[in-house]
């Protein structure tokens, strides 16, 4: 049925006003709506999260869970979505695309939750939440290896994940190592199991998870004062504020500790 020009104009005006913010906190994608409005989301009523999977215990596949994923990061963002009264949708994405800001700037997701350390370089391209996890780096080797510390890595092949602070730490502290970059932890772990690399240098909880599988041991850990943050598109300060509000609530009501202890209490 044809509409008159005035009716079409009225419809366009109504849609544009609706896109500027609504009572349920949803807005259209692209720009921050400023103070007093709800957080900017790419899909109304849904917090869309990108994560590089698998990277246990932070994120892993789980068909039995509502989101299809599980892990510390997933539980954190599920609690954030619940507090914001929106649904959660999780997408598997490449870490390099997340830490560079490419995925967020392209509108693939609202938020990146992927064990991502807050760094000055990343802050140039991304907004970050408050830190939600203090991390350390670590060195994993096969049981019986002659490698006992980072000082033993000269001429040794070391697996790292591209775009990570683990890679940067290895480059800075083991300049004599033969550094082999992989797109994800899954490929790294397969490589050390196949004898293609002699060691893995990456986040401690991930290497501890591999240690549980047997045949491998963490020989050294490194305090780096790293904190993980949830990353968002540059300029989307309304979403940053909403996420930080939920993180604060979780710490105050004890739900953060419950999630943390589920994954890390035994390891510590």
**Alpha-carbon distance 145 to 156, whole Å?**
12
Q: Which CATH architecture best describes the domain 136-226?
A: 3-Layer(aba) Sandwich (3.40)
What CA–CA distances, in Å, run from 243 to 47, 79, 228? 11, 10, 14
- Would the CATH topology of 22-132+229-264 be identical to that of 136-226? yes
For domain 22-132+229-264, give its CATH number from 2.120.10.30, 3.40.190.10, 1.10.510.10, 3.40.50.1580. Answer: 3.40.190.10
Domain extent listing, the chain? 22-132+229-264, 136-226
Each residue's pLDDT, cut to its tens digit, for the chain (268 residues) gives 333 333 333 333 333 333 333 333 334 433 343 344 579 899 999 999 999 999 999 999 999 999 999 999 999 999 999 999 999 999 999 999 999 999 999 999 999 999 999 999 999 999 999 999 999 999 999 999 999 999 999 999 999 999 999 999 999 999 999 999 999 999 999 999 999 999 999 999 999 999 988 999 999 999 999 999 999 999 999 999 999 999 999 999 999 999 999 998 754 4
**Alpha-carbon distance 24 to 35, whole Å?**
15
Q: Is 115:203 a contact under the CB 8 Å cutoff?
A: yes
**Alpha-carbon distance 136 to 127, whole Å?**
22
């Amino acid at each position: 049925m044809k509409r008159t020009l005035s009716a079409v104009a009225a419809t366009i005006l109504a849609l544009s006003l609706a896109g500027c913010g609504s009572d349920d906190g949803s807005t259209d994608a692209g720009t921050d709506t400023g103070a007093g409005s709800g957080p900017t989301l790419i899909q109304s009523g849904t917090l869309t999260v990108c994560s590089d999977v698998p990277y246990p215990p932070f994120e892993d596949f789980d068909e039995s869970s509502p989101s299809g994923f599980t892990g510390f990061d997933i539980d954190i963002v599920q609690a954030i979505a619940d507090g914001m009264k929106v649904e959660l949708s999780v997408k598997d994405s490449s870490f390099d695309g997340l830490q560079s800001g490419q995925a967020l700037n392209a509108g693939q997701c609202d938020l990146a939750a992927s064990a991502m350390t807050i760094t000055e370089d990343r802050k140039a391209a991304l907004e970050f939440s408050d830190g939600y996890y203090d991390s350390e780096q670590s060195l994993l080797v096969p049981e019986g290896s002659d490698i006992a510390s980072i000082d033993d890595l000269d001429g040794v092949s070391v697996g790292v994940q591209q775009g990570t602070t683990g890679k940067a730490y290895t480059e800075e502290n083991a300049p004599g190592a033969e550094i082999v970059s992989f797109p994800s932890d899954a490929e790294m772990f397969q490589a050390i199991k196949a004898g293609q690399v002699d060691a893995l240098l990456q986040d401690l909880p991930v290497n501890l998870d591999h240690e549980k599988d047997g045949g491998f041991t963490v020989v050294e850990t490194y305090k780096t004062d790293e904190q993980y943050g949830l990353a968002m598109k540059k300029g989307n300060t309304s979403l940053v504020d909403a996420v930080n509000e939920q993180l604060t609530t979780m710490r105050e009501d004890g739900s953060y500790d419950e999630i943390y202890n589920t994954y890390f209490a035994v390891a510590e």
